[in-house]
Structure 1
């Protein structure tokens, strides 16, 4: 399903939600109270600005007695979008964020990946997949990277563990190009990036991908990812603890200037390796 068609489908979801809510004689605030979200969230669902998570769609069905229609619509729309189910909602919120702070412990974050690096990652995870399927995955990843090229792009701050710079994903040539790409984004001031060096030792949330997202008119959200799973949390106390962990990692990381020098040095190391093979 093309992006335009998918958005139109979500707009239908929102229009149907508004119609069913009004038929039930409920305000946005009243429905929100019944499904444990704010009335503002219900309004954003109805305008297709935000997409509900599955449990919220289920509770809407229960509150409006709609025989599962909103959960079925949700499943249909999520299934036909280019991301895994556990990541899909985070990808939608990413487009709405005014600020994204990300920690990557092992691989280059999706927003920073080149096509060749993404290909190597997808092939490592799905070595028997057809070329057409891999190309679809790469295309979805490249659509995400456009976010940092938009004039209205969010403030993006990433902390990468030094491991990210040293693992030769795709081989030395692919890694050299990938690190050159990151360095270019840093020099063009499209991203703020710090490297957490090996010398920093132990750090909070070791081994876990973590994003913090801020929004214009919604509470901040934290997303963490594990093996074939992801959690999107907006409970204030949880977000506060995640922010504290992220701040500790930033404090332990190299400065942006020193980080740029390390990224460029690692790229040069991979270039020399490529030239000798």
Structure 2
């Protein structure tokens, strides 16, 4: 049985959307489960919308407006709630990370955004957008730095990151920037703000070789997975697929170096960069 935590509807457009959806659902006497059947989504979607765990979706908002006979009321609220400084494909994932209880990252190619230094983020954005204006690059870097406030929150989600050894040995921004980046990750780990493991080259093939993946768990509602490639991303909420991702993550974690050995390796690689 899903349930909804009570929120102040005037906290944000997203909270107002959730309150309105709950009000309309109560007026027609439908449970979250029955409503989800009418608009062809899972009950978890309805619970997430009403409790502000997940941003509302335009397609489902249209179906809800049609069902409730509310014109474009929920669709307009949806557009307001979804205003974001992030690319549309990442907006939902960025929002979900702020309410997750645990974040499990697998990073086969790059340091995840939450752990990046400013220099590393700048070098990465410049590499992917070589013709962008400097102010556009700096804007993207600043938004990434602002996301990292999540790690300063005492109620932050628990963050566990698996880095492939190749990430350590790809010097985005040059040796000095990369040394600083590795020291930054080590510092976060030693201050008990994150847990990090390195998957060494010796581990060879594994089930997560294809790309970045993040498993997110929540106090309310089922877990979800965010997968990302160069210019796109998607949320996976199918329970069977999420279980597959969890199993794969556990296998990779078992093949990785221990947290202590991982930090020692990162410090050693950082020292090598410092001598470059």
The TM-score, its normalising length taken from structure 1, stands at: 0.87
Task: Judge conservation of contact 1:18–1:46 (CA < 8 Å) in 2.
Answer: yes
Change (3 A) 1:47 1:253: closer
Counterpart-to-counterpart distance in 2, 1:128 and 1:69? 40
Going by fraction, where is helix more abundant, 1 or 2? 1
Gapped runs of 5+ residues in structure 2?
1-9
Change (3 A) 1:208 1:62: farther
The residue number in structure 1 matching 2:273 is: 270
Query: Hey, what's the Cα distance between the residues in 2 that align with 1:95 and 1:178?
Result: 23
Residue 46 of structure 2, aligned match among 36, 42, 45: 42
1:129 Cα deviation from its structure 2 partner: 2.0
1:58 deviation in Å? 3.5
Say which of 55, 58, 81 aligns to 2:62.
58
Distance 1:93 1:76, change over 3 A: same
Matched, 1:206 2:209: yes
- Aligned with 1:127: secondary structure? coil
The answer to whether the 8 Å contact 2:208/2:252 transfers is no
Instruction: Tell me, in whole angstroms, the C-alpha distance in 2 between the residues paired with 1:55 and 1:238.
Output: 23
Contact 2:159–2:193 (Cα < 8 Å) also in 1:
yes
Q: 1:21: how far off? A: 4.3
Partner of 2:159: 156
2:15 alignment counterpart: 11
For structure 1, the 5+ residue unaligned runs are 1-5
2: CA distance, partners of 1:7 / 1:135: 30
Q: 2:145 aligns with which of 142, 146, 150?
A: 142
| Equivalent in the alignment of 1:3 | none
Shift in Å at residue 26 of structure 1? 4.2
* 2:123 is the alignment partner of 1:120: yes
Q: How many residues align?
A: 266
Calculate the aligned-residue CA RMSD, in Å: 2.3
User: In 1, distance between residues paired with 2:134 and 2:84?
Assistant: 19
The residue that corresponds to 1:176 in the other structure is: 179
